[in-house]
Amino acid sequence: MSRPVSLLFGVHAHQPIGNFPEVLADAHMRCYKPFLEVLFRYPEFHFAMHFSGWLLDYLFAHFPQDMAMLTEMVRRGQVELFGAGETEPVLAAIPARDRIGQIETFSTKLTATFGQRPSGAWLTERVWDSTVVPALTACGIRYVIVDDYHFLCTGKITDQLNGFFSTEEDACRLDIFPISEALRYKLPFSPANEAIAHIESLAAEKANDQPVAAIYFDDIEKFGIWPETYQWVYEKGWLEQFVQGVLSSPGIIPQHYRDYHAAGKTKGIVYLPTTSYIEMNEWTLPAESARVYADLVKQSKASGGFERNKAFLRGGIWKNFLTRYPESNWMHKRMLGLSARLAALPQNPHTGEMQQKLYAAQANDAYWHGLFGGLYLPHLRRAIYNHLIDLEAMLDHCAARESRVTQDIDFDGIDETCLQNGNLQIIVRHDPSASIVEFDAYALKHNFGDTLRRHQEDYFDKVQLCGQHPADDDADSHHQENPDNPGNAHNTAETGGGIASAHDRIVSRHRIYAVDLETDDNARTLFIDRINNARIAFHAADANDANDAGGIRFQARHESLLINKHLQLVDNRLQVTYRFSGESKDSFSTEINLAMPSCDGPGGRFIVQGEPVSGFGQPLALADLTEITLDDDTLQGSMLLRASRPVQFSAQPLFTVSQSEQGFEKIMQAVTLLLTWPIETEAVILSLTVHRQSIDERQG
The pLDDT value given to residue 494? 40
The enclosing H or E element of 248 equals helix 238-248
Tell me phi and psi for residue 688, to 5 degrees: -120, 115
The pLDDT value given to residue 358? 98
Query: Distance between CA 49 and CA 404 in Å, rounded?
Result: 48
| Residues 427-454 as b or e (16 or more Cβ within 10 Å = b) | bbbbbebbbbbbbbbbbbbbbbbbbbbb
Q: Which of 86, 125, 228, 410 is catalytic?
A: 125
Q: Which residues contact 700 (CB under 8 A, 6 or more apart)?
A: none
Query: Distance between CA 664 and CA 208 in Å, rounded?
Result: 52
CB 476 within 8 A of CB 466: no
The verdict on whether 219 is a catalytic residue reads: yes
CB 621 within 8 A of CB 674: no
The number of CA neighbours under 13 Å toward the Cβ of 106 is 32
Query: Distance between CA 660 and CA 165 in Å, rounded?
Result: 34
Q: Minimal CA–CA distance to 106: which of 50, 59, 62?
A: 50
Quote the radius of gyration of the chain (alpha carbons, Å). 28
Query: Distance between CA 84 and CA 98 in Å, rounded?
Result: 12
The enclosing H or E element of 66 equals helix 64-75
Query: Distance between CA 539 and CA 532 in Å, rounded?
Result: 20
Q: Which of 219, 412, 476, 548 is catalytic?
A: 219
| Residues 258-295 as b or e (16 or more Cβ within 10 Å = b) | bebbeeeebbeebebeebbbbebbbbbbbeebbeebee
Eight-class DSSP state of 232: I
In whole angstroms, what separates CA 530 from the centre of its chain? 33
The enclosing H or E element of 552 equals strand 552-558
Strand order in the sheet with 143-147: 120-122, 143-147, 172-179, 165-169
CB 646 within 8 A of CB 624: yes
The pLDDT value given to residue 385? 98
The number of CA neighbours under 13 Å toward the Cβ of 303 is 12
Which residues in the chain come in under a pLDDT of 50? 207, 468-495, 544, 546, 698
How far CA 347 is from CA of 103, 205, 354, in Å, comes to 20, 60, 11
Question: 3-class DSSP state for residue 365?
Answer: helix
Q: Which amino acid is at 321?
A: F
Helices 96-114 and 326-344, axial angle in degrees (round to 10) = 80
Q: Which amino acid is at 402?
A: E
The pLDDT value given to residue 474? 43
CB count within 10 Å of CB 582 equals 12
Question: 3-class DSSP state for residue 205?
Answer: coil
Tell me phi and psi for residue 262, to 5 degrees: -65, -35
Question: 3-class DSSP state for residue 57?
Answer: helix
Q: Which amino acid is at 96?
A: A
CB count within 10 Å of CB 248 equals 9
Question: 3-class DSSP state for residue 614?
Answer: strand
Eight-class DSSP state of 233: I
The number of CA neighbours under 13 Å toward the Cβ of 592 is 21
Q: Is 575 exposed, middle or buried (0-12, 13-18, 19+ CB in 10 A)?
A: middle
The verdict on whether 125 is a catalytic residue reads: yes
Alpha helices in 143-186 (DSSP H): 148-152, 181-186
CB 672 within 8 A of CB 449: no
